[in-house]
Amino acid sequence: MPERAPGAAAPRRRRAGKIIAIVAIACVLVLAGLAVAGYSYFRWCQGASGPREGVPFEIPKGVSGAEVIASLNGEGVLRCNAVPRYIAQARSIGFQAGAYKLETNMTVDEALARLDEGPIVRTVSMTIPEGWRLTQTTAEAAKRLHLNEAELTRLAENGGFTVPPYLPAGKATTEGFLFPKTYEFPRDGLTEETVIERLLDQFDQEAGKLPWKNAKRLGVTAYEAVIVASLVEREAQVPSERARVAAVIYNRIARHEILGIDASNQYIDPNPDDGLTTSDLAIDSPYNLRLKENAGRLPPTPIASPGLASLRAALQPADTDEWLYVLCGSDGHHEFTASYAEFRRLKEQCL
């Protein structure tokens, strides 16, 4: 066998080593390039660009997080699919079923934060005007909120609610305490009881702004002050007269006079369509404030829901000795006096 010349294999080993080194470097460069590209893609997927437009988005019950992310990508909210899904899973974010308001071209962080806030609560508006009776309020609530009117009325009149100290325990009705306001109620999950509680809670919140310490000085309880406010609400058609009407009520009580407020008679009118008739004015009832036996007395309950201005007038009546007034003029204003002779003159002039 011929002998190999000394040093003949070294060049071949050096060439092989160079090839391996070149291949290794190439692999490193490729891997580095892939890493850079992957990182760039990862960052790009998290970002956003382009115009934003509102996207109503609904998450049905029972869908997976992956399906939610895919839908966001399909709606143009997110640039990518896999990367946001990975981020959502890493943060352990769960998606609640319901309606959301998103935009096109949101970043992943923005979209996930919006979803994490929870779905939009869909609401329905209901307006209770000042001066409405309990039955008007329950009828409107039943119509607007798709609830049972009879059950609403039963609950409101079953004596089961209190709003201390304004509506104390033992009162059979919430008349006067279903606070007039425009409300936003959720479309779903409402019950008749929660609606009544919401209106009473609103009264409690609004009433807290008023000087109830004045009630004792005026000689009435907090409940009786609400009764006075309900009379003011129904009597005073001109807002600036509320405090004077309240003063007349207190002054007539102090004089043990008949209050003569027809709004209270209207509360018990069996046929409101024909107005107050002679027979209506003779009804034997504590709400009939034209009867001599009711002189110096308030009706037993409020006759309507007073607003904040009328409640304030009942607690801060005008400082006057006027105890008579006459409705005068087409604008519904009254003329006030402390003289019976002047009252008769005004009555001839105005009526």
Could you report the per-residue pLDDT of 230-288, keeping only the tens digit for each?
Answer: 999 999 999 999 999 999 999 999 999 999 999 999 999 999 888 889 999 999 999 99
Are 110 and 48 spatial neighbours (Cβ–Cβ below 8 Å)? yes
**What pLDDT score does 192 carry?**
96
**What pLDDT score does 11 carry?**
65
**What pLDDT score does 35 carry?**
52
Cα(125)–Cα(100) distance, rounded to whole angstroms?
Answer: 20
Helix or strand run (H / E) with residue 186: strand 182-186
Which residues have C-beta within 8 Å of that of residue 259, sequence separation ≥ 6?
231, 249, 252, 253, 289, 294, 295, 296, 297, 298
Residue 81 pLDDT exceeds 70: yes
Q: Is 220 helix (H, G, I), strand (E, B) or coil?
A: coil
Mean pLDDT of 204-212: 96
Residue 7 pLDDT exceeds 80: no
Cα four-point dihedral sign 135, 138, 141, 143: negative
Closest CA to 291 of 265, 253, 320, 313: 265
Residue 73 pLDDT exceeds 60: yes
- The pTM score is 0.74
**What pLDDT score does 3 carry?**
55
Are 289 and 276 spatial neighbours (Cβ–Cβ below 8 Å)? no
Q: Higher pLDDT residue, 10 or 49?
A: 49
Mean pLDDT of 86-103: 76
**What pLDDT score does 146 carry?**
94
Q: Which band of pLDDT confidence, cut at 50, 70 and 90, is reported for residue 41?
A: low
CB atoms within 10 A of CB 126: 19
Least confident of 3-17, 85-99, 106-120, 275-289: 3-17
**Tens digit of pLDDT for each residue in 173-196?**
999 999 999 999 988 889 999 999
Helix axis angle for 134-145 and 149-156, nearest 10°, is 140
Residue 325 pLDDT exceeds 80: yes
Cα(291)–Cα(63) distance, rounded to whole angstroms?
Answer: 69
Cα(319)–Cα(232) distance, rounded to whole angstroms?
Answer: 16
Q: Which band of pLDDT confidence, cut at 50, 70 and 90, is reported for residue 119?
A: confident
